[in-house]
Amino acid sequence: MKKKRIIAITIFLSFICVLSIETFAHPGRTDANGGHYNRKTGEYHYHNGGGSSSGTSSSSGGGSSSSYSNTPKKVYASKVNVPNVPESINIGESVQLKGSVYPEDAVDKDISWESSDTSIVTIDENGNLKAVGNGTATVTAKTSNGTESKYIITVKEVMAEKIEIHNKPEQIFVDEKVLLNVVFTPENTTNKTVEWKSADETVAKISPSGEIVGIGVGKTKITASNKDKIDEFEVTVNPIEATSIEIFIEGQDDKLTDVPAFKKGETMQLNVNFIPENTTNKTVKWTVDNNEIATIDESGLLTGHKSGKAAVKASVSNEVYDTIEVKVLSDTSFVITGFLIITIIAVCILLVKKKKNKRT
């Protein structure tokens, strides 16, 4: 009897040990299919014949047999992790976001991306994020099954610490154009808008794009500003001097080849061609070397007074000049009239003498 008790106790303790080993080897409760995931290995398996039945059971001689399907259920992501999302970023900067799902064996591993405000942050299907505007936006990483994580990103504006005008000339000519540009420090300054200003637009003007043009002779100050940052310089606008001039007769297209002539008492309008054509100061000083023969006024109107030749000179402020010779002719109308009168008188005298001769 004592021996039977020892055997019974031994069997009981062995059964308890088997249950304990099974429990510790596979922790976790079973699901409705009679299976569960091993927390240590992540493997799904069944206990005690669990699972969906795919066959029939039969008994013969008190025994039974069964067949079950061991296909596990699909695992979906319970969380999306994006470890490299920046809390703040500067306008113009870009980041390649890299996301992953938990658990690793989830079937919905593909992640889609979304920005709450594309005027602040844009992001493409591959997670390429770019900061485009100042402010705060939310980026969402989502799986196909709807699991998502949201991240708030602040986009900051990079302010200019210094601006400097490049290509600034000390001197330009009237009508000359020079394009200026501004260099920003730091280079990634967000707002690079420049406001240009000329202190005296009668001397020089400057366009919104930074193109300066000389208007009149003098000096003026050119200023570039970006918010509270300013740079400026002074420019001198010089006149365009004539390199040569050429006298011509108004109304005549041909270049002077012969000495121009006009009658005593008549006038001739002279003018000047300038080289270059855009010469700034086109004021001409006219002179004649012999005012008894001809005179000329400040507009270049030449008047003949006495027959003969005279030299006319046109000069400009930088001592460039041109000269021509003109000829003043006598008024032949009086000569012709006198000749006709003398001829008539001579004819009359001849006729009178002829009649006297006939009488005698």
As a whole number of angstroms, the longest Cα–Cα distance in the chain is 221
**Which residues of the chain fall short of a pLDDT of 70?**
1-4, 6-8, 10-71, 253-257, 332-339, 358-360
Structure tokens at 106: 């989830």
Residue 290 · residue 357 · CB < 8 Å: no
Q: Is 73 helix (H, G, I), strand (E, B) or coil?
A: coil
DSSP 3-state helix, strand, coil percentages of the chain (rounded to 5)?
Answer: 15, 40, 45
Q: Is 42 helix (H, G, I), strand (E, B) or coil?
A: coil
Predicted pLDDT of residue 303: 96
Predicted pLDDT of residue 207: 97
d(C-alpha 15, C-alpha 352), whole Å:
187
DSSP assignment of 107-126: S---EEEEES-TTTEEE-TT
Closest CA relative to residue 80, chosen from 112, 124, 48, 54: 112
State the burial class of residue 166 (Cβ atoms within 10 Å of its Cβ: 0-12, 13-18, 19+). Answer: exposed
What's the whole-model pTM score? Answer: 0.55
Q: What is the mean pLDDT of the chain?
A: 83
DSSP assignment of 245-291: EEEEETT--SPP-S--EEETT-EEEEEEEEESTT-S----EEEES-T
Predicted pLDDT of residue 71: 66
Predicted pLDDT of residue 233: 97
d(C-alpha 30, C-alpha 37), whole Å:
8
Predicted pLDDT of residue 60: 38
d(C-alpha 312, C-alpha 261), whole Å:
13
d(C-alpha 39, C-alpha 104), whole Å:
13
Range list of H helices, the chain = 2-25, 332-359
Strands 135-143 and 111-115: antiparallel
The string of pLDDT tens digits covering residues 76-105 is 999 999 999 999 999 999 999 999 999 999
Neighbours of 256 (CB within 10 A): 14
Structure tokens at 182: 């501004």
- Cα–Cα separations (whole angstroms), residue 237 to 120, 174, 214, 217: 46, 6, 6, 5
Predicted pLDDT of residue 252: 78
d(C-alpha 197, C-alpha 205), whole Å:
8
Predicted pLDDT of residue 22: 45
Neighbours of 309 (CB within 10 A): 14
d(C-alpha 94, C-alpha 127), whole Å:
10
Residue 156 · residue 172 · CB < 8 Å: no
